[in-house]
Amino acid sequence: MALRSIFDASVLRTEFENAGINPKFIPLIWKNVLQNPNCKWDEIPSLPAAAYPLLNSKFLPLSSTLHSVSHSTDAVTSKLLIKLKNGAFVEAVILRYDSRLGQYGGKQRPGGLRSTLCVSSQVGCKMGCTFCATGSMGFKSNLSTGEIVEQLVHASHISNIRNIVFMGMGEPLNNYSALVEAIRAMTSAPFHLSPKKITVSTVGIVHAINKLHHDLPTLNLAVSLHAPVQDIRCQIMPAARAFPLEKLMAALHLYQKNSQQKIFIEYIMLDGVNDEELQAHQLGKLLETLEVVVNLIPFNPVGNTSQFKTSGEAKVKNFQRILREIYNIRTTVRKEMGQDINGACGQLVVTEQDRLLAERKGLITDIEDLHL
């Protein structure tokens, strides 16, 4: 049997139970690995004798390695290129905020320095969104629970992570079991992250949204809506054909009824496609019966061949004004971070060319970020 990550929680728990070892020792093992990813199993004190040969024969402290890190020129964003055991690469991004400063306008507010980690859930993505670089690389594989959690382990040695957003490579709800198990690990010892500080972004996998509140009741949900009508949505998000807007909205109403939480709506601004006044009114009417925060996202062209253009600042402001003033919908304009290291929204992609470049120069490419 191939050695598994120690953070593959269900596998580890099953092996311990089968060997008669109390799973209560799992947090102690994780704590030691978090503090020292290169530790040897026999260096961890106070485990039952039977645990050591089991760990040596079946588990690795980490199954992935931190291949390279690049930092934005303002030191606010760091992008991690992580090499998996099978040789594939994924990316994670650390976003640093000073929450004492308002994101838009610099107004003072309580808080302090904090870091958000943008996590990948798959290698590639099968959703095929036409404005997203990750979609252009196609779907390669799902990440295991351990490979998801290990992104947090690697990032924790660079910054003190307080928030997690599943907005990296892949559609998280298409890797549902590993996602849920990874979040449960992240919210338990030794990580102790609050579920209220974790956000999962989806293009709208209706059946999984309907399960999510039951499995992770205090989680934040973000929906990549990007258009207020089905035909435009299908044009820019081919996977939307499987999830009609009518069914998606019904799922969101049910989710909100059960959770009593705001829902984040992500809306990428594409010039002449979804940024006109008509679409602002359509979006307002679509969302006015929900408690939402709409996040308008400046489009980042993917290379020089993108079919889309970035909406002008005046259009974005007018779109925001309509949602706020006419429909009383809280609306923000995302401040893009990490563009100089291709770490901004929709830019996450790892190609063979990128990989080779990273190996030669320590550079890496692409991702999504949400300000919480």
Where along the chain do its domains lie? 4-58, 63-361
* 91 has catalytic annotation: yes
The two structure tokens encoding residue 170:
């892949």
> How high is the pLDDT of residue 112?
59
- The Cβ of residue 130 has, within 10 Å, a number of other Cβ atoms equal to 16
Q: What angle do CA 194, 196, 199 make, to 5 degrees?
A: 110
Looking at residue 161, what is its pLDDT? Answer: 97
CA angle at residue 334 from 364 to 196, to 5 degrees? 90
Residue 359: predicted pLDDT = 46
171: closest CA among 113, 129, 210, 111?
129
Distance CA 364, CA 348 (A): 10
Q: Is 132 a catalytic residue?
A: no
This prediction's pTM: 0.88
Marked catalytic residue, from 91, 150, 171, 368: 91
For 178, the 3-state DSSP assignment is helix
Q: Is the peptide bond before 301 cis (omega within 30 degrees of 0)?
A: no
Closest C-alpha among 200, 226, 197, 194 to residue 213: 200
Residue tagged active-site, from 118, 125, 132, 345: 345
Q: Phi/psi of residue 174, each to 5°?
A: -85, -5
Cis status of the peptide bond prior to 190, with omega within 30 of 0: yes
Low pLDDT (below 70) residues in the chain: 1, 99-112, 135, 302-305, 336-372
CATH node for 63-361: 3.20.20.70
